[in-house]
Each structure stands twice: as C-alpha cells, then as structure tokens.
C-alpha cells in the first residue's frame, strides 16, 4: 500500500468549503435556478434541491437504473453525471410524465399489469421503458430484455414489466 502524505491542519480548523455553482435546470418543463456544490450529481440535485424524489438512489454507480431520467429524449442514469452538465437540456423525471392529472400510458400499463412489487425500481423502469419505445427498441421480448437490462428489479417483476411495455408499444 502506497503511503500518501497529507497536509496537517491546525487543530480546530475546518476543511475548506466545496465550490458552489449557480445553475439552471429545466426539469419537467420548468426552469429552476439553484446553487449547488460543483460536485453534486443530477440525481442529488433533483432529489435534494428540487424535491423530486421519484428517481431513486440505488447503487450510486450507474448499474441498477433506479435513478433513470430522460434528458433530451434519451435515458440517462442520473447518479453518474454532474448537475452542472445538464444546463440547457430538457430533463424529464417520473413526476413529469403524467399530464393534466392523467397517467402516462406506460404508468397506466405498469399498474394494469402489476409490473412492480416493492416499487423502488418502478420510476426508473418506467422512464427507461418510455425511452425504449421512443428509440424503436421494443420489437421483440428479446429486444425488451436486452435494452431494459440496465434496470434491475430485485422483486423479479420482469414478465409483468415486459407485458406493460408490449401493451404500450402495441398501442403506439
């Protein structure tokens, strides 16, 4: 193990404050001006600064898909990118899918097909499924399995998730 020298701080001295940045995020059609630590992820900005808790913090490494949101119409795992990188981009979260009090067709299909159990992964699954259809990658069950593989469901609701996606794909 390599020894790394660290600079000693005088007793009682706090570490320096992290740099803050002013950013504007356009989320679900609304612009939000916020000040964040320059190192804050998009996921943490959405949850902690904007109160949008639909995207979940699962692995915090981009492997589970629980934090999936849509950016400019494409799916993004929001735990991997810094919030400041998303200025000027169209961000849609699960909270922004429904319109005029009506569920998005994918949300309604998930409910009809009981495509969730504990519900923790559901927002990320739905966001990924909406993008999957928009990307034209939901033609077969094999396609759905392959292109949804970045979203993990510990409850194993995969057959019902695929059924919901097939329903919405068939209606589009």
CA distance 9 to 157: 52
**Per-residue pLDDT, 14:** 81
Measured from the Cβ of residue 93, the count of other Cβ atoms closer than 10 Å reads: 22
Which residue intervals of the chain bear CATH 3.10.20.30? Answer: 20-96
Least confident interval from 3-7, 11-15, 156-160:
3-7
Tell me the longest C-alpha to C-alpha distance in the chain.
66
CATH of domain 20-96: 3.10.20.30
**Per-residue pLDDT, 7:** 58
What are the helix and strand counts (H, E) for the chain? 5, 5
Q: Is the pLDDT of residue 1 over 50?
A: no
pLDDT digits (tens, 9 = 90+) for 71-93: 999 999 999 999 999 999 999 99
CA distance 130 to 40: 26
State the architecture of 105-171 in CATH terms.
Answer: Orthogonal Bundle (1.10)
pLDDT digits (tens, 9 = 90+) for 17-75: 889 999 999 999 999 999 999 999 999 999 999 999 999 999 999 999 999 999 999 99
pTM of the model: 0.88
Q: Is the pLDDT of residue 136 over 70?
A: yes
**Per-residue pLDDT, 8:** 60
Per-residue pLDDT band for 10 (boundaries 50, 70, 90) equals: low
Per-residue pLDDT, averaged over 145-161, amounts to 96
């Amino acid at each position: 193990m390599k020894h790394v020298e660290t600079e000693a701080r005088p007793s009682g001295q706090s570490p320096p404050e992290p740099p803050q940045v002013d950013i504007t995020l356009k989320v679900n059609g609304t612009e939000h001006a916020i000040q964040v630590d320059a190192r804050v992820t998009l996921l943490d900005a959405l949850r902690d600064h904007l109160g949008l808790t639909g995207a979940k913090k699962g692995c915090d490494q981009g492997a589970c898909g629980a934090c999936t949101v849509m950016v400019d119409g494409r799916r993004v795992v929001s735990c991997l990118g810094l919030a400041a990188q998303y200025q000027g981009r169209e961000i849609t979260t699960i909270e922004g899918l429904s319109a005029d009090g009506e569920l998005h067709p994918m949300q309604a299909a998930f409910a009809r097909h009981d495509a969730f159990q504990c519900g923790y992964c559901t927002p990320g699954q739905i966001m990924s499924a909406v993008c999957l259809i928009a990307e034209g990658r939901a033609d077969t069950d094999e396609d759905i399995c392959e292109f949804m593989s970045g979203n993990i469901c510990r409850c194993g609701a995969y057959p019902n998730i695929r059924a919901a996606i097939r329903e919405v794909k068939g209606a589009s």
